[in-house]
Amino acid sequence: MAQSYTMDMAPITDKKQWLAAYRATAEELERIAARDLAAMTDEEALRRIQLLGPCPTPWRDRPDWSGLVEQQALFHRRKKP
Q: What percent of the chain clears pLDDT 70, i.e. is strictly above it?
A: 68
State pLDDT tens for residues 14-43. Answer: 888 888 889 999 999 999 999 999 999 999
**Most confidently modeled range among 45-54, 56-65, 68-77:** 45-54
pLDDT at 9 over 60: no
72: amino acid identity, one letter: Q
Q: Domain residue spans in the chain? A: 10-53
Contact 33, 42 (CB under 8 A): no
Q: Is the pLDDT of residue 4 over 60?
A: no
Q: What is the pTM of this model?
A: 0.44
Confidence of residue 60 (pLDDT cuts 50, 70, 90): low
Q: Are the C-beta atoms of 18 and 12 separated by less than 8 Å?
A: yes
